[in-house]
Chain A
Amino acid sequence: MTSPISTNKISYRQCILETARHEIWMMVLSVLANIILGPISTLYSINTRIDQKTARFHYICEYLNEIQLFSQVFIAFAGALIVGIFIFRFLFNRRMVDLYHSAPITRGKRFFCTWLTGFLIWFLPYIVCDILSGALLLALCRLPLPYVWKILGIYGANFFVSLLTFLMVYHVCLVAAMLSGNVLNAIVNSFTLGLIAFAAYMTYLFGMDIFFQSFYRSSLEVLTNCAYVLSPMAAPVLLCIHRSQSLGNNFYSALIIGGSLLSLLNVNLAFLIYRNRKSEISETGTPCKWIQTLFRCSLSFLGGLVISFFFIMVTSATNRFAWGIVTLVLGSIILFALLNIFYHYNFKSIICHKRQYCLVLCGALAVLFVGHFDLLGYESYLPKKDQIIGANIQIPRFMNYYYINMPTNDCIDSLEKEELTNSPLFTNSEAIYEILQTLIEDSDPDSYDSETEISYLDSIGNTMYYRNSETVYVCIHTRQGSYNRRYSIKDIHLEALRPFIENEEYIQYYYPMESDRLSLPDSITLGTKYQSLRIETPEKIRQLLDAYQADFRRNQTMEYLDNSISSMEDLCLNYISNQDDLPEWDRTESYYYGISPWHTETIALLNSWFPNIVLGVSDFTINSIDCYAFIDDYPGTTPLDILLAYFGYESDKTPITDIPFFTKLYANGINRYNIPLTAKDIEEMGDNFRIGYFSVKPSDPYVECGIVTLSDGFPYPLYVKLGTLPTSLIDAAVPAENNNYVYTDRVLE
C-alpha cells in the first residue's frame, strides 16, 4: 500500500549524507587543499626551521602567525566561495529543481541539511588536518610545556579566524546564490555583495584623496570599520593581518563581532530567500529585478568613478579632467554592458536599460563635477578665528623613516589608523587661522600630490620606508566640532609652518629614541648581524645613543628634514634587547637603525673608538664571484658607454665626479653584463672593493657589481668604488644572456 503519513520522517543524517554523496568533487578538493596546506606545509616549514638552534619558538610562532594562518584563511575563503556558490546549484537547473523540490522534505530542512553539508565539506578535513599538523609540529619541535600552551593558543586563534572567514564568505555566497538563477550570476552577485561596501568606501576614499585638499571626515574610522565589517570578502584579509600581528584593538573586536553578526544575518537572509524563492526562476539571470537594477547601477556607478579617479591620478594636470570624464563614461558603460550580459545571460542584451545607464552616468558625472569644481565649497572652507580651538598637525615630509619604522611606538599606531588627533596638538588659534588661510588661498586646484611610501632595502636587507609627500594633514578643532583636511605644501608655506615644526612637542613626538623599548638596549652592534662589532658597556651604549640623539636633535630642522628623505645610510646600529618572556635561545631581538652621513657626532665618536676600523666582512675566503652590472638605468649609446657610466667613468675613461644614479635614461639593448673579475683583481684593488653589507666609511660612492660567496657559504654583495674598476675588465664585459660568469678558480686568503 501507499506510504502512510507517519512514516515520512526523514532524518537529518540521511538527508546530509544524501546531499554529500553528490558533492564528492568538493570534498576531494577540500581534503587535498587541507592536506597540502596543513600537515605537508607544516612538515616542510618546520623541517626547514627545525635546524635553527636558536629562536625555535620564535620561528614556530612566525610560521603559525603568517604562513599557516594565511594558508588556512585562504582555504576557508576559497572553500566558502566554491561551496557557497555550488552547494545550492540545483537551484540553477530546472530539472534539478523538479527533482529536489518535488521530494517530500520541507525547504527549511533542505536548507539546513544543505548548509550543514557545505559547512562540513570544509570543516571536517580542516579540523582533522589542523589537529594532525599541530601534533606533528609539537612532536617535531619538542617545546617546553609553557610554549605548548602558547602554540595551542595560536592554533585556537587561527582556527577562530578561519572559521569566521568561512562563515562570512559562505553565507554571503549563499545569499547571492539565492538571488541568482545561474552560476555566473551567483559568482557576480557573491562578489558584489561581498565587496560592495568596501568598494563604496574605497571610492569615497579615492574621491576624497583625489579632489585635492578634500575633507577627511572625522568619522573615517567608523566608516572604515563599517566598510570592512559589511564586506565579508574584505574583512577576512584584515582579520588575518590583525591576527598575525596580534593587534587586539577595537577594530579587531569590531571585525569579529560585526563579522559574526553579519554572518548570522546573512544565513538567515539566505534561508528566508530560499524559503520564499519560486522554483520557476531557475536558469534565469538574477530573478529579482530590483536586485538586478540595484547591483547593476551601483557597480557601474562605483566602477566608473574608480576608473575615472585612476586616470585623474595618472594623467597630467592640463587634461586631467577631460580624462576623468572620458574614462568615467567608458568605464561605467563597459561595466554596465558587462553586467547586462551577465544578468540577462545574453550578448544581445548588452545595450539594455539605457535609461538606467543615463541615470548612473549623470550621478557619477555629478560627483565628478562637484569634486572637481568644489561646488560644495569644501576647499575654501575656513572656520572663523574665534571658533578655532586647536589643531593637530602632521607633516609626513618632515618625518624621517625612523618614525615609520619604530617597532613599538604609539606613533606607528596613530599613523596606521590615520588618527590625526594623536599628532601634536597646537592651540594657538591665531597661528592656526593664518596657516589655514595661507594653505587655502595658495592651494592649487589642479595639483594632485599623492602621498607615496617609498620602500627600499637597506644595507642589511631590511625593507625601509619613508614618506615622500607635499602634503600636510591637519585636524582642526572648532567649537562646533572637529574635521580633518589635507593641504599641499609649497615653499611659501614653509615659513608659516616653522612655528609648528620647530615646536619642542613636535620634535619629541617624532623623536625615535623616546621609545621605551629602544632606550635601554643590552648591546649595540655595528655591522651585520653576523659580522659585527659589539658595544656592550653601558657607558659606551649611553654615549653612543646620546651622540645619535644629539645628531637627530641638531638636524631636526626643516632644512634637514626637507633634504633628509633622500639620504642613504651606510652604517647601521643594531639594537639588541632582551625579552625575558621568551626562552633563552629566543630572547634577543634586533632592530636596525642606519647612521646617515649627517650623523656627524655619531660617526666622530665611532671613529674615535675604532680609528682604523673597516666595518664589513674581513678575513674572508672567497669561494666564488659572480660579477655583473645591470645597466638598465644608465645613459649611453653603446653598451660600453653605458658600462663605463655604470662604473663611474666618462666615455673617455676618466672618472666622473657625479654619480650617475637614477638617471632613468633607458638605452637600447639594455641588459645584464658579466665582468670577468677574479679574486686576484679584488686582492689587488684592496679597499676599492667592498664585500659585505657595510661600506668602509659612510657615503663613499660605491656601486654594486656582483655577489661573492665566502667560505661561510653565505652570499655577500660586492661593491666597487666608482671610477676604480680597471677599464680592461669593463672592456672585456660580455652580455650575460643566460650564462653568468662565475669565478671559482681561485681562493683568496
Chain B
Amino acid sequence: MIEIKNVSKQFGDIIALNNITASIEEGHVFGLIGTNGAGKSTLMRSICGIYEPDRGCILVDGEPIYENTAMKSKVFFISDDQYFFRNGTPMDMVRYYQTFYPDFDLKRFNSLMESLQLSTTRKINTFSKGMRKQLSVMLGVSSNAKYLLCDETFDGLDPVIRQAIKRLFIREMEENGLTPIIASHNLRELEDICEHVGLLHKGGILFSRDLETMKLGIFKLQCVLKHPEQIQQIAEQFPILKQEMRGMLTTLTLRGESSRISKLQQELEPVFWELLPLTLEEIFISEMEVKGYDFTNLYQ
C-alpha cells in the first residue's frame, strides 16, 4: 500500500503539490487524473522517490520511499518522456535495469517483446514513440516491481496495443500482485481499467475514491418538468453541479443516490425523466467546472 500523507512540494514560487493525502491500495489499478499542471507527474516522481517532498511523507508498505532502496526496488517509474541510453538497444536498458532490479525477468521480457514484435537488438532511437512506450512498459513489467507508475504511458499507443497492455496489467495483477498507478488524460482508457481514481487540481487532491462509488454518486438527469420551479425543489435535495436548459428539456448533473433520485421522480411527476450514469470524463469535467476550471467561454 502506498500512503501519501500531507505531501507538499514547491518549485520556486510554484506550488506543485499542496498538502495531498491519499492512499493507493495493493492489487488495484489506481488512476491519477487531473488538469494540466495539476501535479500528477510531480506526485508520481515523489512516489517513486525521485523528489523529496518539502512537507509530509510518502510511505510504501509502511516505510518512507525517499532514499530507501528496499522500498524503491518495489516501485518502477515509467516517465512521460522516458530516457533511453544514447545509441542504446532494448538490451542495454535491460542490462541497466538488471543491475538495479535483481529480480528482473529477462525471459519474460524477451517473450513480451517477441509478442509485441519488437526487436531487442535494434537501436531505440529508431523506435517510434509508441514503440518506446511499449518498451518502457515491458521493462517495467519485467522488473517485477510491485508498483508500476505509468505517467501518460497510454498516450501514443494504438488501440490494439492499449488493449493488450491493459490485459497484461490485469494478468500481472492476478498473477504477480502488480499495482499499476496510471496517470493519464485519456479518461476513457482509465475508465476501463481503473478501480480507484484520484483527481488532482492545482496541486491539491479533489477526491480519491473507487470509480464505481464515484459513478454511483453522480448522475446526469434529463427531464421535462411540469413547472420550472420544480428545479429548485431538486436542488434543495441534491447538489447540482451543472445545469443546462434547451427548451423544455433540462439537463442536470447532480450528486446523490439513484434510489433517492428515483423517489423524487415519483414526487415531481415529470413529463420526461431519465437518469443516466456519468462517464469518467463527464465526472472530471463537472468537478473541474465546479472548481472554476471552465473554458467554455473561450470563443465568446
**Which residues from chain A sit less than 8 Å from chain B, CB to CB?**
1-3, 5, 7-10, 14-15, 17-18, 21-22, 93, 95-99, 101-107, 278-280
Chain A residue with the shortest CB-CB distance to B100: A103
In the complex, the answer to whether B51 meets A104 with C-beta atoms within 8 Å is no
In the complex, the answer to whether A8 meets B70 with C-beta atoms within 8 Å is yes
In the complex, the answer to whether B177 meets A93 with C-beta atoms within 8 Å is no
Collect the chain A residues with CB atoms within 8 Å of residue B101's CB. Answer: 3, 104
Q: A2-B74, A3-B101, A104-B100 are in contact. Are A98 and B50 (CB under 8 A)?
A: yes
Instruction: Give A103 to B70 CA distance when docked, in angstroms.
Output: 11
Contact with A along B92-122 (1 / 0, CB 8 A): 1001100111110000000000000000000
Selected A-B contacts with CB under 8 Å, 25 pairs: A1-B144, A2-B103, A3-B73, A3-B102, A3-B146, A5-B73, A8-B102, A9-B102, A10-B69, A93-B83, A95-B81, A96-B83, A98-B45, A98-B79, A99-B96, A102-B45, A102-B48, A102-B72, A102-B75, A104-B101, A105-B100, A106-B69, A278-B52, A279-B45, A280-B11
Q: How far is the CB of B166 from chain A (nearest CB, A)?
A: 20
In the complex, the answer to whether B50 meets A105 with C-beta atoms within 8 Å is no
The answer to whether the Cβ of B233 comes within 8 Å of any Cβ in the partner chain is: no
Instruction: Give A451 to B164 CA distance when docked, in angstroms.
Output: 82
In the complex, the answer to whether B102 meets A15 with C-beta atoms within 8 Å is no
The answer to whether the Cβ of B24 comes within 8 Å of any Cβ in the partner chain is: no
Collect the chain B residues with CB atoms within 8 Å of residue A22's CB. Answer: 85
Chain B residue with the shortest CB-CB distance to A90: B83
- The A-contacting residues of B in range 54-89, CB under 8 angstroms, are 67, 69-77, 79, 81-83, 85
Q: How far is the CB of B232 from chain A (nearest CB, A)?
A: 50
Instruction: Give A9 to B101 CA distance when docked, in angstroms.
Output: 9
The answer to whether the Cβ of B7 comes within 8 Å of any Cβ in the partner chain is: no
Q: How far is the CB of B132 from chain A (nearest CB, A)?
A: 12
Instruction: Give A234 to B124 CA distance when docked, in angstroms.
Output: 43
Instruction: Give A99 to B92 CA distance when docked, in angstroms.
Output: 13
Q: How far is the CB of B249 from chain A (nearest CB, A)?
A: 49
Q: A98-B77, A278-B51 are in contact. Are A104 and B69 (CB under 8 A)?
A: yes
- The A-contacting residues of B in range 13-52, CB under 8 angstroms, are 45, 48-52
Q: How far is the CB of B137 from chain A (nearest CB, A)?
A: 15
Collect the chain A residues with CB atoms within 8 Å of residue B83's CB. Answer: 93, 95-96, 98-99
Contact partner of A97 among B50, B73, B144, CB < 8 A? Answer: B50
Chain B residue with the shortest CB-CB distance to A109: B69
Chain B residue with the shortest CB-CB distance to A8: B73
Collect the chain A residues with CB atoms within 8 Å of residue B102's CB. Answer: 3, 7-10
Q: How far is the CB of A691 from chain B (nearest CB, A)?
A: 64
**Which residues from chain B sit less than 8 Å from chain A, CB to CB?**
11, 45, 48-52, 67, 69-77, 79, 81-83, 85, 92, 95-96, 99-103, 144-146, 176-178
Instruction: Give A1 to B143 CA distance when docked, in angstroms.
Output: 10
In the complex, the answer to whether B52 meets A18 with C-beta atoms within 8 Å is no
Instruction: Give A97 to B45 CA distance when docked, in angstroms.
Output: 11
In the complex, the answer to whether B67 meets A106 with C-beta atoms within 8 Å is yes
In the complex, the answer to whether B144 meets A101 with C-beta atoms within 8 Å is no
Chain B residue with the shortest CB-CB distance to A11: B99
In the complex, the answer to whether B51 meets A2 with C-beta atoms within 8 Å is no
Collect the chain A residues with CB atoms within 8 Å of residue B103's CB. Answer: 2-3, 7
Instruction: Give A278 to B96 CA distance when docked, in angstroms.
Output: 23
Collect the chain A residues with CB atoms within 8 Å of residue B50's CB. Answer: 97-98, 101-102, 279
Instruction: Give A96 to B88 CA distance when docked, in angstroms.
Output: 14
Task: A10-B69, A10-B102, A104-B71 are known; give 15 further A-B pairs, CB within 8 A.
Answer: A2-B146, A3-B146, A5-B71, A8-B69, A15-B99, A18-B96, A95-B83, A98-B45, A98-B50, A99-B83, A103-B100, A105-B100, A106-B67, A279-B50, A279-B51
Instruction: Give A105 to B49 CA distance when docked, in angstroms.
Output: 11
Q: How far is the CB of A174 from chain B (nearest CB, A)?
A: 20
Collect the chain A residues with CB atoms within 8 Å of residue B74's CB. Answer: 2-3
Collect the chain A residues with CB atoms within 8 Å of residue B77's CB. Answer: 98, 102
Collect the chain A residues with CB atoms within 8 Å of residue B146's CB. Answer: 2-3
Instruction: Give A278 to B67 CA distance when docked, in angstroms.
Output: 12
Collect the chain B residues with CB atoms within 8 Å of residue A279's CB. Answer: 45, 50-51
